[in-house]
Amino acid sequence: MKVLLGFGGSQASVDALERTVERAVAACDELTVALAETEGASHAELAEQVEQTVEDAGLSVELRELDGEHASELVALAESEAFDELVLGGNTTSPMGKITLNKTAEFVLLNSHVTVTLVR
């Protein structure tokens, strides 16, 4: 299966990366990680973080850099390159137990024709 993971360096992204790498190793998935540069982390810093995680698991991944509007670029990349699944972290649970989505996750869920998995 071709899997695309959106990675921005937050703790939720790290959790999603770890779970996705674990699954990719077990299922022999082809993993591509889309690096979404933030104010706190450059593409190079994000790439280093990803490479350390996948190296420990013995997996090789393709890295892509996203510029501009990350959510729309993720959707476009997933659809144009026929990915089977798009994985995101970043959602939280409210005190009432409801899922709270960040704007990237919300846009991707509403606009992607590719299966989306949210990791929390």
Mean pLDDT over 20-29 rounds to 96
For 81, the token pair is 């390159």
| Residue 101 DSSP code | -
pLDDT(14) > 90:
yes
Cα–Cα nearest to 112, from 61, 82, 63, 76: 76
| Residue 38 DSSP code | B
pLDDT(74) > 80:
yes
Q: Is 62 exposed, middle or buried (0-12, 13-18, 19+ CB in 10 A)?
A: exposed
Structural domain count of the chain: 1
Mean pLDDT over 67-96 rounds to 91
CATH of the domain at 6: 3.40.50.620
Question: What pLDDT sits at residue 38?
Answer: 85
Confidence of residue 81 (pLDDT cuts 50, 70, 90): very high
Strand partners, 117: 87
Higher pLDDT: 40 or 11? It is 11
pLDDT(85) > 90:
yes
> Residue 1 half-sphere exposure, CB side, CA atoms within 13 Å?
16
Backbone angles phi, psi at 7, to 5 degrees: -130, 120
Strand partners, 5: 33, 87
User: 4-27 in b/e burial notation, b at 16+ Cβ within 10 A?
Assistant: bbbbbbbebbbebbbebbebbeee
Range of the domain at 85: 2-119
pLDDT(80) > 90:
yes
Cβ distance 88 to 104 under 8 Å? yes
Share the mean pLDDT of the chain.
93
